[in-house]
Amino acid sequence: MDIGKNVREAREVQGLKVSEVARRAELTISGVTSIETGRVGNPTIDTVMHIARALGVEPAELLKEAPDPKVIALPSTPLTSLSSEELDERLKNAESAAEVDRLLRALEQETRDLEEFIPRHLMPRTDRARLYTAAARQRWVQLADDSRKPESNRFKSVVEVASELGGRYKTFIPDAESSAEEERAKTA
């Protein structure tokens, strides 16, 4: 609790000077100032009673706790909470560009939502959102382009996309390089 802040606020609401509160409470000006500034953080109950009477408030009003700080919830991110295998399955089983387009738009929205919460501890999740968006965008391009030959629409896993993007995305997924090479070897 911050008694000093509560005393100062009650005094200011009433438009009183420190000297007037001190006079009414039969305290010194420096005593009231010391409480308001926090130099005296735990005044005696008698002192609190005197100040409360001087301000015309209940002592409990001066002893009340400060409200809890505002809690900020993280945005909901159901798609970027998926494992890379689950996203791969959704993309692989997509039957139309429209289906992947809906997924892509949802991932882009999750990315924007997360980017508003950029503190350092959220970077891995933001990177995952960007990686998944890139994987969905790549699959959407394949399915949306009717002029592409079916054999050029080979599905690429999230791990393969991470490997192609390189940089921090290669370190984001453990063994991304070796997993992508294994995938290529299977299809060759």
Q: Are residues 27 and 114 in the same domain?
A: no
Residue 117 located in a structural domain = yes
How far apart CA 117 and CA 120 sit, in angstroms, is: 9
- Let me know whether 124 and 56 are in one domain: no
What is the rounded CA–CA span in Å between residue 176 and residue 168? Answer: 11
Check whether residue 25 and residue 102 sit in a common domain.
Answer: no
- For residues 97 and 155, state if they share a domain: yes
Tens of pLDDT along the chain (188 residues) come to 588 889 998 898 888 899 999 999 999 999 999 999 989 888 888 898 999 999 988 888 888 876 555 555 667 778 888 888 999 999 999 999 999 999 999 999 988 887 776 655 556 777 888 888 888 888 888 888 777 777 777 888 888 888 888 877 776 555 544 444 555 555 55
pLDDT at 183: 53
Do 143 and 96 share a domain, yes or no?
A: yes
Angle 92-96-101 from CA coordinates, rounded to 5°: 90
User: Considering the domain boundaries, does residue 19 fall inside one?
Assistant: yes
pLDDT given for residue 92 in this prediction: 93
Range of the domain at 35: 3-63
Residue with tokens 């000006």, as numbered in its chain: 29
Could you give the CA distance from residue 183 to residue 80 in angstroms, rounded to a whole number?
23
Whether residue 183 is contained in a domain is answered as: yes
Q: Both 163 and 90 in a single domain?
A: yes
pLDDT of residue 54: 92
Number of domains in the chain: 2
Specify the pLDDT at position 79.
Answer: 87
Shared domain for 88 and 59, answered yes or no, is no
- Residues 91 and 23 both lie in one domain: no
- Do the domain assignments include residue 96? yes
Q: Is the pTM of this model over 0.85?
A: no
Per-residue pLDDT at 139? 86
Domain shared by 91 and 59, yes or no:
no
